[in-house]
Structures are given as C-alpha cells and as structure tokens.
Chain A
Amino acid sequence: MATLSLDSVKKQFAATQVLHGIDLEVADGEMIVVVGASGCGKSTLLRIVAGLETATSGHVRIDGRDVTALEPADRDIAMVFQNYALYPHMSVFENMAYGLKIRGMKPAEIRRRVDEAAQMLEIGALLERKPRQLSGGQRQRVAMGRAVVREPKLFLFDEPLSNLDAKLRVQMRAEIRRLQKRLGVTSLFVTHDQVEAMTLGDRLVVMHQGRAAQVASPMEVWGRPADTYVASFIGSPAMNFLAATMEPGGGAAALKAGLAIGFTDGPRAGEAGMPLTLGIRPEHIQLGQGGLDLAVDLVEPLGSETVIHGTIRGGETLTVRLPIPARGIGAVLPVILPWDAFHIFDGSSGRRIEPA
C-alpha cells in the first residue's frame, strides 16, 4: 500500500526524447491505466517506475521516498510482464517463491503465502508443473501470483493481457480488477487497448508522443477529451471531426459542410472566423430529416447496431453508429447532428475549448 508520485520525469535515448516530462500523483490503492498507441512512451514510463530504465531527469517517489536512484530490487514493487517472464527451469511453486526466498523468508511462511495466492488465483493444482506445461491463461495467473505473494507496495502491469485470446482477455481483465480492489495495492497498468483502459482504471493517463495528453477518470476522458488526439483515441468507432469556423459572438460555429452548430453550453472565447474542429461521436448522430445527407460507402453490421461510413457535403467523411438493421440502408442516409453532442476544439492546436 503506497502512493506513487512522478515529478517531471523525462527520458531521452540518444537524440530521441521519449518522455517530455510526466507528472503524476497516484493515491493509495488507486489503479492507474497508462494508455496510448505504440511508441508513445508508456512502457518506458513504467520501466522507469520499475527501475529497469533510469530517467534522464525528474523524480520517482514511492510512499514519499525518492527511489529514482534505487535498483529495482530496492523499490519493493512487483511487475507482470507481457510475455509473463516466468523462470522456465522452475516449477510454478518455485517461480512464486523465488522473490520470497531471496528476502530470506522462512520456508513455512513461503509455503503459506504461495498456497494462499495459488488458491486465490485457482492455480493450486499446478504448483508442481513447469511453465512450459501451462496454457497462456495459466501462465498469466502464475505471473500474477508471483507478484501477489510478494505483497509489494506497487503493482506494475506491462500489457499483461496482450498475449491472450479475446475471450480469456476479457475474463482476466475482470479478475485483475477484482484482485486489485481486494488487495488494495496501488497499481500502474500499461495498455494500448482503450477498452482495457476504460474498464480497469480508476483514472487514465492518455499518452501521446511522450506527453500525458490527459489524466482523468475514464468517463471524464470519454466525455470531455482534452484534445483531438484523446478524443480520437478513446471510443470506438473513433470520434468524427468536422472543420468549422467560429461565428461572430462565439455562440456558434459554421461547419464547412454548410450547417450552423450552436454551442448549447455557452459561448466560446475567440474571434469570428477562427478555425475550429468540431467532434461528434458516431453513436450520438441520429437518423432524421433536416440535417445532412450522408452518401453511404460502407456498411458494417454489428448485430444490434450498424456502423455506416460515408461522406457529407464538402467531402468530409462521417461515421455513424445507429441502432438499426444493416439491411435496407440506401445509398443516401439523412442524419441529424445534435448540437449538445458536439465537442469544440481549437482548429489549429487541437485543444478543447471550454465555454468562456
């Protein structure tokens, strides 16, 4: 049980700046998910917290203690790796007991802790097996068990579910969440999967090109994305972006497609004619006359819903998710863009613009 605090952590590999200064405060028992596309620096950040990489500058504190210069062994953390990283020549029991043995724990106590963790993770019957005799899901459990028995201050997860098949991934996701809540261990979970991020995290850190684009709760990130990158990264299918310009007075925007959109939550600061990007999620677009005509070019049936890709007047693409059957969708679909569903972003910087 501990807090974690990152203080302008930067990392540079040769000439490449990988992390541009990350600040983060993690409360005791909190589950933070670091999410981003590959190459955004999320794994590097995790490895810096683990002590497997050294930060070029900045500080890492665990429970208030500065651990920036400490070896991984001295940080009292446990990590679950993407490829599980089990010791191939040791049995499941030995794998889980390894860290405890190094700490000089008595065999009886080791036995007790391993048995307890094995029971919790339902791997009690596998303790004498070698990793190669286990399935992917079982290996994942053993890797979790190895982390749990240590009772560390911090759990670090480095995309631990990426190597599992889709069904098992959903199941393990729920289990990790349950386990983390039950043990109350402060956790940092790295993933590129936005669904994992949304479902697992108390808060998300959305990383983009070595910066934390937004740090907020999942619903906040989804409902009020800080910029167009976050908006496009979270949510599936991705948010639509339409070019627009500010109307005089800042109370509305004129879409390039020729429609005026009023800002229902209040006017924005900005000069008339300033370029804007208006975002609207596919599921918020409705069917109906009086809006835009969508020239359909691809229909994806998902069963209860249908995703329709097309273009609107002016050539911009638009994706719509509608609760209607795919059959019977014609070449042109009349859609309505509800005003209150729009997110307003600065057209040049991509930052969200809140009501003035």
Chain B
Amino acid sequence: MRKKVIFKGIALPWLLLLPQLLITGVFFFWPAGQAIYGSFLREDAFGLSRQFVGLENFTEVLADPNYLAAGWTTVVFSTSVAFLALGAALYLAVQADKAIRGANAYKTMLIWPYAVAPAIAAVLWLFMFHPQIGLFGRMLNGLGVPWDYKLNGDQALLLVILASAWKQVSYNFIFFMAGLQSIPKSVLEAAAIDGARPMRRFWTIIFPLLAPTSFFLLVVNIVYAFFDTFGVIHALTGGGPGQATTTLIYKVYVDGVQNLNFGSSAAQSVILMFIVILLTAVQFRFIERKVHY
C-alpha cells in the first residue's frame, strides 16, 4: 500500500523539504560547484589574484607523473582493501553462520569496528604496529623482520590497507550474514544428501548464491577505499613515506591544503567526482536488475 498525501497549495511541501534541500545545497552542491569553478582557475598561493585557464589544470594534472603514481597507488590500495575486506568478511560470516552457541556475541563483536571512527582506528593500528612502541612492531623487529613503515613504503601501504580493510569488514559482514541467511537451509541439505562435502557445498552452492551480494559489496568497497579512507591514511602515514601511501583523495588534500595549489586540487576533485558518479551509476544499474541468477 502506498500512502499518498495530497497537499493544498505548494508552500507546505516546500517548507517540509527545505531543511534537507538546504543541507544538500550548502554541503554538497555549493562545494561541488566551487570545485568545478575553481578547476578552471589558477590562483596565486596568497589568494590575491586568479585567472581563467580553461582546461589547463586538467591537462597538467593528467600529465603529472606524481598524479599518475597516486592513481596507481589508489588502484593497488582499493583493490587490496576491497578483496581483503570482502574475503575476511565472507569467511567470518560463514563461520558465524555455523556457530550455534554464542552466535549473537560473535555477530555483535564483528560489527563493532564499524562504529570506530577512522582516525581512532588508525591510532589503534599505529599503537600495534609502530616500530618502536607498537606491540607487533616490536615483536616483528625482535624476530629479525626489519619492520618500519615510516621508512619502507611497501610496509606503509600494507599497513594502511590492513587498517582500512579492517574497518570495512563489519559492513561487509552484515550483508554477507543476511545473504547467507536468505539461502534456504533445505537447499544446503539437499546438496549434502547429493554427496557434496562442506567445501564443495560452499563453492558450488553458497558462493554462487551470494554473488549478487558480493558484487554490490565490491562496488561499495571500492567507493569506500577511494573516498572514505582519508582519515586512516592521514592519521597513520600522512601519505608517506615519500608518496607511498598518497591516494588520489589524499593528493587532493595535499595539493589543496598543504601546497595551496587550489586550481590543481579542484581539478583533481572534479576527476574524482566523475569516478564516483560512474561507480554510482554502475551500482544503480545493478540494483535495478532485481533478479540475480
């Protein structure tokens, strides 16, 4: 049943919509418009003069080896985060689904990391893996593994990947859990009677039936890795050492806020805006197709 309310006149509906429209306008459309406008301008570092440069900011950014390096870092980072977070969440969901006793306790604990703010999560990982004061960092060095993510770029990337994936596992876990619960128990029993062992049951029945959920989550995770991991990177490595952990979103911040190169930063934002529009379009198209298998 759909409830349709019919208003007399136009004033009240507009009034009711106003708060949401105001928030969307002020916090989304205005900055987005500013970014697009700014991407065509070049401004001196003191903000005293600006001039229109057309698409020059874009051509410059796309030809910049530093930008392309950040792009590659983002690809490696996002793919790793997405697959790590998806894989771990799927494994945990399957295990929690099997648990008979204390299943709710597992579920609650697995969902907790989602409630931790990115910066705090980063500090948590920092305290664990700091080469001098971190528990695991010291342990690794004690075992003879030369661990110092402040000097080694690969180690730094690994650490931000782990921290970012860890935060996303909870979200994926909830969706996988729901996906698993929607698979009829009798289907799995039928497979068991047909002679399929647990591993075979997983790969031939459970995994294919979870494919729609997995695809949806893949898009969500890539969007997360692209845009929502700024806090983790900022608090853990600050994009370094060198540029080892500078992703596209982090570079927007570095160029705009630290280097005060507003034009370039704005152009980069606009490029990211297009990427997120693209990803959202993919996701929407997918959600529209309701039947999955």
Contacts and interface: CB of A to CB of B under 8 A. Distances in A.
Contacts of B194: 73, 98-99, 102, 146, 150
A81 B208 contact: no
Interface size class of A (residues with CB under 8 A): 20 to 34
B293 to A, nearest CB: 4
Report which residue of B192, B193, B209 has the largest number of chain A beta carbons within 10 angstroms of its beta carbon: B193
A212 B293 CA distance: 43
Judged by DSSP, the binding face of B is helix
Judged by DSSP, the binding face of A is loop
Given A98-B194, A102-B194, A52 B205 contact: no
Contacts of B186: 81-83, 85
Interface residues of B, number: 20
B184 interface: yes
Contacts of B291: 132
B190 interface: yes
A85 B293 contact: no
Contact of B195 (A50, A73, A130): A73
A77 B190 CA distance: 11
Contacts of A85: 184, 186-187, 189-190
Nearest to A88: B293
A89 interface: yes
B197 interface: yes
Interface in A113-148: 130, 132, 146
Given A88-B209, A89-B208, A102-B200, A52 B192 contact: yes
Contacts of B200: 102
Contacts of A102: 194-196, 200
A87 B211 CA distance: 14
Contacts of A77: 193
Interface of B: 184, 186-187, 189-197, 200, 204-205, 208-209, 211, 291, 293
Interface of A: 50-52, 71-73, 77-79, 81-83, 85-89, 98-99, 102-103, 130, 132, 146, 150
5 contacts: A73-B193, A81-B190, A83-B184, A83-B186, A89-B208
